[in-house]
Each structure stands twice: as structure tokens, then as C-alpha cells.
Structure 1
């Protein structure tokens, strides 16, 4: 066994594997470092393209511009509200539909699951969805951002599979013998034993809501209700920034352009922070929940 582990083929494979992973890691890490360095560089260095790896002319002007640009903070607050409310609705509805479908005594569960899975392949389309949202008088409201995507079929399947493989029928029988109702069983038994999958779907739903902009683009009219990603889209794609809101002396054209470029990188960094801060706390649950919920059936 020692001879096999130390063979030339194994050593060659390890060298090539580590080299490939190192190059892949560098390819993923470099854009992050570049954006972070650019956000801390001077406007002139960013405009002239001098930033490569480390900040050039370290400066906090980009973040000062962010703090002075009020629409960013309006979008930030809206994104927090949409993410919190939307994730709560998503998780509750997903559990309410996934748990009954995991029970063997649920009549017609296979047919219901077939209808649910059918929507993964065929969708009503943008125009019918818009008409439904409009008829329900949800245009330009928070519900237009949350309800059209209230349930992810993928998350329902993963959650249902997790319940089937983790919550034994004997546990339910024992609880019923003690007089426990279905609602109490879900609240006091199922949820405490399902922290992993709840953490997984919470993270997936939260990241989706935090990064979403299409629903806001279609359904929202009032800019005061725009999420952060809409303002980020205007800055990055349309290059639309009202420099009069940046504060300070921005009369010179070159300084305006420099602050606009710095604002792009600083907003990217700030918009990524919540997800980067959330992920380490749910990482262990994420790995466990995905593996159990996806593999066991």
C-alpha cells in the first residue's frame, strides 16, 4: 500500500491536481481582490487603469461617496426588508408543503408532487404572470417582489426528501400515542431535528432575494421602493449616477467620473458583505443538509 501511494503516477496526479486547483482558486480570487483594491484606490488610479492587485493611492473616497449617495441606503434598507420578509414566507410555505408530502399517509401525494415538478419544466411565462400580479393589485408593492416566487420547487423536493430520510414514522407514532397533534409534532419535533435543511433553504432563499432585481424591474414603479440591486444595476449597466448626491465639490468633470467609478466598486463590496457574513454561520448546516436531502431517498 505504501508503494502504491508513493508511485510516480500518484505523485504526478497530485502535482497536476494541486496546480489546477491553485489556478482555479487564483482565477476566482483575483476579481474579488481587484474589486476590493479598486474600491480603496484613488479616483485617478482607477480611471487610468493603474490598479492591478493592490490599492494605488489608498483612499476612502469611494466609501465616502457611498455614504453620501442616499439612494444606495434606500435600496439597502429595502433589500433587507424584502430579504427578511421574503425568506420568512419562502421557508414557512416550503415546510408546510414539503412535510405533508413526506408523509406516507398523505393521500395523493405522488400526484401532487408530479404537478409541482411539472412547473419546473413548463412555466406560465412573463406576460401571464404580470397579468396575474396586476389583477391582484400587487403592482408597485412588496408583495409583487415576494409572492410570485414564494416557493422554489427544487427546495421543496430537497426538503421533502430530507424529512423522509430523517424523520422516522415510529417517531410520529410515539408522539401520537402521547396525544401530540400534527402541528405540535412539526413545531416541537420536526423543526428541531431539521435545523440543517432549514438553514440550507434559508440561505438559498435569502441569497436569491438579496440578488434579485428582475421582479423589481418589472413590477415596481416607485424608486423609493427599489432594492439595492436595482441601484447597483443602474450604476454598473446603465452607468447612471446622480453626482449631485455624492456631496462635496464634484464640479470638475474628471472628479465626477472618478467618483462614479469608485462608487461602482465600493457598492459591489458593500452589497456582497451580508452574504459573505451570513455564509460562515450556516456552512456546516449547508453541507449536511444538501448531502442528506439530495442523496438519500
Structure 2
């Protein structure tokens, strides 16, 4: 009898231990899943009024969770999303997601309200108020393994440090000076740091900047064979350089090399004007690009 009781007690203890162990494992799994969870923002919409969301960067992708919602980017404002209810008084909760050009992913749970408490949302302010970490990076195909936030950090750092490490590439005519201040390289990408100085009293409005590879022998004449390279990112929009003013910019391009018989031409064109400038970059300049790691950035 004693042996039977002892066996039963042992089975009860083992069962309790197993349940406790399973509970611990389940809690551990739940905690790990929670760590990777993207917490949604909460918002209200209505049928007769439009809500606006202002994002820190241009909107690249929007996905609506149901037909209860209609949305679209505001005209001439790439970072503003308009959204409203397509159906009156819907009862079910719905959602939508947004990806911005800086690689951030945003998720929203949406409820219907006949009188929303607010119609305008500033996502940068909401992020700071909720003390959210910017860990939800989205990788874009054109950037490869480079996260958009890291690429943005590098562009910003080069711009703010504003050092001139290349001192032999520039052009000057019509009171306009165009300089290549630096070439940087990181993880398969080039960063070209430029500066435009307007020494005249007439503003210089930038129409576009062109990167292309051409043969050396025809670089200063009509170009018959050329290969255009489109920048993947630009630190700031191309704008107007006021009279007697100076401004700079940073361009992100895919990494490439050229042979000794070719040059990279960087052309900047004036809108409704003829004061365009041209820079010529050779093979030796590209292969001596400065590694970003030398800038002591905190990169992963």
C-alpha cells in the first residue's frame, strides 16, 4: 500500500513539474513573439470628414485592411496620407499599413466614429510621445542589404560633417562653382558629396543632376556612347541656390568601376538657364573612395 501511495505521489510531482516547465516554455515563446511585434497606432475615421497623417518621409506603399476605408496621397505632398471611411457606421475594427521611403513600417488599427477626437496625425510626434524605437526597418530592393535608415544616416553624416576630402575635381564658369567634395563607399554603394557655390547675384535654380559614364576621347565633345546612372537616394531635394550663396548635397549610387579610357561625368543643369556645370571623375578617383567606417559611424 505504501508503495502504491509513493508511486502516486511521484507521478503527481512529475506531472506538476511538467506543467510548470511547459508554462515556462510557453511564456518564453510568448515573450519572444511580443518582442518582435509591431505595435499598431490607434485612430478613428468618419464618413463626412477626411483624416490626414503626416509621415516623416515620403509614402512608398499603402495597404488597406478592408473596403471600409479609402485613402490616397495628398497632391504635391509625398508624405501626407488622406484617409476616410467609405462606409457609414461600420462596426468592425479594420486596419491599414504604410511603408515610407526611409524604410519605416507603420501599422494602424482603425475604428469608426461619427465625431473623431482628432483628424490630423503627426507620426513623428506620435513616435516620440509613445517612446517607440525605430527598429522596424524595411529593406528595399534597390538598396540591397543596406537598411534605408542606415543609408539615411550616412547621407546625413556626410552632409553635416561637410568635409572636403577630394580637392582636385571642380568646375567654374558664369559665376557658378561646382565641386566634388568627397567620394565615400560602403556595402556596395557610393556616396558622392557635392557643393554648388553661386558667386553671382542671380539665383541658380537646379533643374536636374545627371551621372553618366562616357569615353574620355569624346567627353568634351558630342557624346555618342554613354551609360546613365540613376541615383538611388539624394539627401535633400534639388533646389534653388540664392545669389551669393552656397549649398551642398549627397547622392547615393550603386557601386561601379570604370576603365582608364572612360570618365564619370556629373552634370548639373540650370532650369531655364545655360549655366550648367560638368565634373569629370576618373577610375583612380573611384577606387580611392573613402570607406564609411573611417567616419566612425555607429553602424551594424
TM-score with structure 1 setting the length: 0.23
Higher strand share: 2
* Structure of higher RCO (CA pairs closer than 8 Å, 6+ residues apart): 1
Instruction: Report which of the two has the higher share of helix.
Output: 1
> Which is greater in Rg?
2
TM-score calculated relative to the size of structure 2: 0.23
